[in-house]
Amino acid sequence: MNALTRSAAAYWNSSIGKKLVVAVTGLAMVLFLAGHLTGNLLIYAGKEAFDEYAEFLHTAGHGALIWVARFGLIVVLVLHVWATILLTRENRAARNKYEFNATIQASKSSRIMIWSGLTVLAFIVFHILHFTVRTNSHLAEIAKESPYEMVIAGFSGGFLQVLVVLFYVIAMTLLCSHISHGVASMFQTLGFRSKKSASLIKRVSLGYAVVIWAGFVSIPVAILLGFVN
């Protein structure tokens, strides 16, 4: 083991090292969400604009860019979940050891984070099967012609799509609760939170989460209600 690997391992073994991993990977995913939302909002600009954007995503860098992004996202997601699990275990062990409950408030909020995080994880799996892998052969056929039409068909047409939209709305709501807590603790971990800036950070985190929520929820709902077709 060389010196660099040893110090990386020591950092990972420390609680602040893992917190930093959660914060930095969280930041990467928060930025991905802003980009993904901006691209998805092109659905309101019409079929041509959305399909052109999808074509660009799949062909940029001779098709390599999307795979680099996918690989990066998977690494970031695995590190985020893994470091969170280890931190939760450490916190639990410390609480049992000292039989001391000063962390009731913190553990309540982290319990919410675990459940919202798990729902988002389930959503990501469903979403990738829905629009990237396209396990529904009808959607897969439509996607060959137009990604725009695939998204429209994914959120409209029948009772099943109503359930899909409902699941998206619930998942987006939990995602945004997760982001609002997460962005605030990210600022804290990165050392930007002081008594003075605490309320500003809270408002910025909440504001960001609300914008992301409104943008993402608007798409399936607008399609289901027939405003985009």
Q: Which residues bind ligand HEM (CB under 6 A)?
A: 33, 36, 40, 54, 70, 73, 120, 124, 127-128, 131-132, 147, 151, 168, 175, 216, 219-220
Report, in Å, the least distance between residue 45 CB and ligand HEM.
14
Nearest-angstrom CA–CA distance, 132 and 127: 8
From its phi and psi, is residue 157 left (phi > 0), alpha (psi between -120 and 50) or beta? left
Report, in Å, the least distance between residue 151 CB and ligand HEM.
5
In the complex, which residue's CB is closest to ligand HEM?
131
CB closer to ligand HEM, 83 vs 219 = 219
CB closer to ligand HEM, 51 vs 87 = 51
- The closest alpha carbon to 50, from 140, 141, 155, 152, belongs to 152
Report, in Å, the least distance between residue 152 CB and ligand HEM.
10
CB closer to ligand HEM, 12 vs 131 = 131
- The closest alpha carbon to 77, from 21, 144, 154, belongs to 21
Report, in Å, the least distance between residue 220 CB and ligand HEM.
5
Report, in Å, the least distance between residue 183 CB and ligand HEM.
14
Provide the token pair at 41.
Answer: 């909002």
CB closer to ligand HEM, 182 vs 220 = 220
> Considering just the CA atoms, what is the radius of gyration of the chain in Å?
20
Report, in Å, the least distance between residue 37 CB and ligand HEM.
7
3-state secondary structure string across 25-82: HHHHHHHHHHHHHHHHHHHHHCHHHHHHHHHHHHHHHHHHHHHHHHHHHHHHHHHHHH
CB closer to ligand HEM, 6 vs 70 = 70
CB closer to ligand HEM, 23 vs 152 = 152
In contact, 189 and 20? CB cutoff 8 Å: yes
